[in-house]
A and B are shown apart, each in its own frame.
Chain A
């Protein structure tokens, strides 16, 4: 079945996004699994809408809704970086490993909506219009939220690079 293959093809990207969003592999895969199950029960709805192209934006939108529900239920607020687990084979140098640990820690300090936009644009490379559709917000909100998220991430990373001395982030 065409649409199911198209959904399967998106699993790696859904996992990458969920992992970055939640910080921990098991919970990320739980979110992916819920997304897939919901998508399968609704793929008839996707087919007539976007028969062409990939269901990527649609799947991200489903995942976004599930993530938002988790936030509301208070489940996903505690972002858990699993940096204790040395499972990232692509870390080439010690310096790089430190940078990545800083990154997951910094991501953990972002509010959920800022983390989402930062990752949809910066990691998943969705267009601003696609991101607006996925998140169900106007384009202007995407831009302002992205701006806040990038400023905040930059502030936190600078602060960590500066030896962890507490600075006021504007």
Chain B
């Protein structure tokens, strides 16, 4: 760059930068000199400056006005203790009823939990994915900031140790999790993950209570949702993402990461 000998021509970008006070000293002086002999462009810069000033006059008072309570609340952790425990009580009550009903049904029919077919896993997972991922305000019951609590709670409800896998290395942060009713009154966990550009994945975990079985990854598509699912030990896992956003390869990559964390 030989900017000392031949000055860079002044372009429109320079004029915007001048109006926005974005030019460094020497260049600013150059542009000022140039504007002194170009009245029309100087008028333009002045008009843009006036626009900026007008915007500030119109809207700066909002900076000083008191914050509405709802915004202060929104910047706190997702759930207040009261709200949270109320919801949890409702879920526990619901599940207790479901559990009792499930127990009686099982007694009557003699159906073993094993008879729940593996085929229902992707469908249940896809439905849960479709219901909860569009939620902006309440995508999860317990947020990632209470991860230890989330883990303890879901382990207790599903009757076996369960921790949300960490998928940051694949580009997905844990949003949190929720408890869902499964078939026959069992409890199911759903963990939700989100990428930096807002794409959401869910991991649906069902306690199949049948000792250690293991299956290969299987895939299914339910509506617009792609699901990878497998059985491992006493849990059935299903990882779901929208077909439009996730290729099989991408979902498989994440599913592999999940599998490795469960089986270190």
Question: Could you list which residues of chain A lie within 8 angstroms of chain B, going by C-beta atoms?
Answer: 4, 7-8, 11-13, 15-16, 19-20, 29, 32-34, 36-38, 40-42, 44-45, 48-49, 65, 88-90, 96, 99-100, 103-104, 118-119, 121-123, 125, 127-128, 143, 146-147, 150, 153-154, 157
Contacts and interface: CB of A to CB of B under 8 A. Distances in A.
Nearest to A150: B48
Interface stretch (B55-63, B104-112, B234-242, B252-260): B55-63
A150 B60 contact: no
B61 A41 contact: no
Nearest to B197: A65
Residue of A20, A125, A150 with highest tally of chain B CB at under 10 A:
A150
Contacts of B64: 12
8 contacts: A19-B59, A29-B71, A41-B78, A41-B143, A41-B194, A65-B198, A122-B51, A154-B47
Contacts of B6: none
Nearest to A13: B63
B71 A11 contact: yes
A36 B175 contact: no
Contacts of B140: 41
A103 B58 contact: yes
The interface residues of chain A, by DSSP majority, are classed as helix
A40 B20 CA distance: 32
B51 A36 contact: no
Interface of B: 12-13, 16-17, 20, 22, 47-48, 51-52, 54-65, 67-68, 70-72, 74-78, 136-137, 139-140, 143-144, 168, 173-176, 194, 196-198
A44 B47 contact: no
A150 B68 contact: no
Contacts of A121: 16, 20
Contact of A16 (B51, B54, B60): B60
A62 B68 CA distance: 20
Given A37-B74, A45-B173, A154 B62 contact: no
Given A29-B71, A33-B71, A42-B173, A90 B60 contact: yes
A41 B144 contact: yes
A159 B204 CA distance: 59
Q: Give the 6 A-B CB pairs with smallest separation, nearest first.
A: A122-B52, A123-B55, A36-B74, A90-B61, A16-B62, A12-B63
Contacts of A128: 17, 22
Nearest to B53: A122
A45 B75 contact: no
B74 A33 contact: yes
A134 B175 CA distance: 22
Contact of A119 (B48, B55, B194): B55
Nearest to B56: A123
Contacts of B58: 20, 88, 100, 103-104
B75 A7 contact: yes
A146 B14 CA distance: 13
Contacts of A127: 22
Residue of B51, B58, B173 with highest tally of chain A CB at under 10 A:
B58
Contact of B75 (A40, A122, A150): A40
Nearest to B67: A11
Contacts of A90: 57, 60-61
B63 to A, nearest CB: 5
Contacts of A143: 12-13, 16
Nearest to A18: B62
Given A41-B139, A41-B140, A96-B57, 10 more contacts: A8-B72, A15-B62, A29-B70, A41-B143, A44-B144, A89-B61, A122-B48, A122-B51, A150-B48, A154-B47
B217 to A, nearest CB: 27
Given A11-B67, A90-B61, A37 B136 contact: yes
A41 B16 CA distance: 37
Nearest to A123: B55
Contacts of A103: 54-55, 58
Contacts of B62: 12, 15-16, 19
